[in-house]
Each structure stands twice: as structure tokens, then as C-alpha cells.
Amino acid sequence: MLTRWIVGAWLAACALASFAQEAPFPQRGPIELTVLFPAGSSADITARLLADGIARQLSATVVVVNRPGAGGAVGYRHVAGQKPDGYTLVWNSNSISTTYHSGQLPFDYHAFDPVARVLVESPVLAVRGDARWKTLADFLADAKAHPNQLTVGNSGLGSHTHISSVALFKMAGVGVVDVPYPAAQVMPSLLGGHIDAVMQLPAALATLVKSGQVRVLAALVERRDPALPDVPTAREQGVDVALDAWRGIAVPRGTPPQVVFALQMAIRRTVESPEFAAACERLGVHPAYLSATEFGELIAKEDVQLAGLMQVIGLKK
């Protein structure tokens, strides 16, 4: 009888375990989405749009938590250390590679499982609307005439905007002073006259461009950004550099495949919705869904490319 009881208990435990593995996700809440930059930044604004969509699709609560610092390293460390159950997400970007190769993270993208790419953005060089520089050529000529005097703000050491800035001026053969800021302080510093220019993503300055307070000199993309059709690319202006930024969702490595799939489908339905597309257009970003498999392949490919670029421009450690 004791043996039968033990066997029965074991079978019941196996059944519960099987049910837990196959049960729909999510079963509890909330789901936490870590954003690597402060509230009010372009990363934060777009993450909250996505979080609202995921919440509706999964009938769940999705809480956005800002964990800024070290170009994204603070947030990546937190998420990588959480249980791989789908209840902890990170709003990741190319920064998973730049923070690792710049020596700010002890692990690379392999610490996470990709879920889906969501959107792409174009790094842009911008100045105040009343600045004396009207074109990229103007700015480069001034930088060449006054080496290491012009200041260019970015969103933190090792961030994608930092890498983009260094790459642009290295490829142009001029020296500037890169100034890392917490993301929320970059644009106020430009408007206040504390720095000469910024390398930022369009969502951070879209309203300022429309109001004339900021002028964009160049976009670091393969083709002109539809949100900024009148802004020539760096390549059009003679500097061979293009560094599109992507954002997506990743989870701690080892998250069950069925959970990753459930999240992927919720993200796809959100990204393909007219509401999300309209919101992205207002922010100057572009929906660009990729599945988990496609997203993983992109991350792996770009990691190699960014490592090589950072080696060339002297930022790889």
C-alpha cells in the first residue's frame, strides 16, 4: 500500500509538472519589462507603447521598470540574473553588443533568448536650430579647423549613440569631444548651449525638429529615413558610415520555448496593428518585426560587425 501511495504521488507530481509546462502563458503576473534608459527617453516611450500592446494581447499586466546606467549594462545585468520563466523581459538593442565589447558587461548576447525585433531607428547628428552649422560639411570643416574643440553629446559611454558618434568622426578624419550623458539630459544640454551637437535617435528630438529648435545635419542609415526625408545620409555627404539602431524583446536564456512563442505572437500582433504603426510614425521610428529565429540571426551577425567596427575606432576592450 505504501508503495502504491508513493507511486501515485510521483505520478501526480509528474502530471502537475507536465500541466505546468503546457499550460497557457501567463498564469500569474505581472510581467516586468526592463528599459535600459530613464523615463521620458525615446527607449522608454516606445517600450511603454509595446508594453500596452502586449498587455492587451495576453490579458496580463505588463509593468515597465527603468534601470538606466552604463549604456544599458545595469539593466542587462538585472534581467540576466532573473528566473527564465517569461515574467522578466528586457527592451534590448544593439547595446547588448556595444556594452559587452566596450568592457562594461561580463557576458554577451548569449545570456538571453531573443523573442522578437520590434522597430528600427536612425542615429542622427543634430545641432540647435540657431547654430551656425547648416550641413554636415559645415560641422566637419569647423571640427577640422578646431581639432578636439567641438563637443558632441551622446546617451552614455558604450551606448549605440556613442559608438555612432565615434564612428562618424573617425571615418570623417576629424576630432571632436564626445560627452556621455544620462539619456534624459542630452537634449536639455544641447538646448542650453552646454554642447555643440548631439548624436541621438529621432524619437528623442522629433518634436524639437518640428518646432525648429533643433536641426538635423545627417542620418547614419543606408537610405534616407522616411521620418526625415529632407535629411541626407552621412554617405550622401561623403562619410561612409551607416549604423541603424534596432530595439526588441529578449528574455533570460533558458526560457521555455512555448513561453517565448506566446510572447512573440503577442508582440507580432501589437507591432502589426494600425495603432502601433501610427504611434511610431509620430515618434519617428519604424515598426520592423522579426521572429525570434530571425532576430537571433540578426543579433549574432551584427555582434561580429560591431566588434570589428569598435576594434577599428579604438573602443573594443
Give the pLDDT score at 22: 57
Contact (CB, 8 A) for 155 and 161: yes
Question: pLDDT tens digits for 202-260?
Answer: 878 888 998 999 999 999 988 888 778 899 999 999 999 999 889 999 999 999 999 99
Higher-confidence position of 191 and 42: 191
Contact (CB, 8 A) for 60 and 262: no
Contact (CB, 8 A) for 269 and 52: no
Contact (CB, 8 A) for 39 and 7: no
How many Å apart are CA 271 and CA 238, to the nearest integer? 35
- Residue 306 grid cell: 560591431
Average pLDDT of span 120-138: 96
Phi, psi of 271 (to 5 degrees): -65, -35
Cβ-based burial of 131 (10 A; exposed 0-12, middle 13-18, buried ≥19): middle
Question: pLDDT tens digits for 36-54?
Answer: 988 887 789 899 999 999 9
Give the highest mean pLDDT range of 37-46, 56-65, 66-75, 238-247.
56-65
Domains and CATH numbers, the chain: 28-121+245-312 (3.40.190.150), 124-237 (3.40.190.10)
Q: Residue 9: pLDDT above 50?
A: no
Q: Measured in whole angstroms, how far is the alpha carbon of residue 198 from the centre of its chain?
A: 17
Which amino acid, residue 67? R
- Segment holding 160, helix H or strand E: helix 160-172
Question: pLDDT tens digits for 13-24?
Answer: 444 344 344 568
Does this model's pTM top 0.85? no
Which amino acid, residue 22? E
Pairing of strands 124-128, 31-35: unpaired
Q: Indicate the pLDDT class of residue 82, thresholds 50, 70 and 90.
A: very high
